[in-house]
Amino acid sequence: MNKFMNYIFLLLAIAFIFEPLSTTARPEYAVKESRNCPYCHASDGPPQLNEVGIYYGTHNHSLEGYVPSPKTTPTPQPTEAIEIGVHMNTWDVGLRALATILIILAVVLVIRL
- Domain-wise residue ranges, the chain: 36-70
pLDDT at 69 exceeding the cut of 50? yes
Cβ–Cβ contacts within 10 Å for residue 19, how many? 11
Give the alpha-carbon dihedral of 27, 38, 99, 24, to 10 degrees. -30
Torsions phi, psi for 63 (to 5 deg): -95, 10
Position 91 scores a pLDDT of: 55
Cα–Cα–Cα angle for 57, 62, 64, nearest 5°? 130
- Which parts of 1-113 fold into alpha helices (H)? 2-18, 27-33, 51-58, 95-112
State what percent of residues in the chain have pLDDT above 90: 6
Position 24 scores a pLDDT of: 45
Q: Which of 36-40, 43-47, 77-81, 88-92 has the lowest mean pLDDT?
A: 88-92
Q: What is the pTM of this model?
A: 0.41
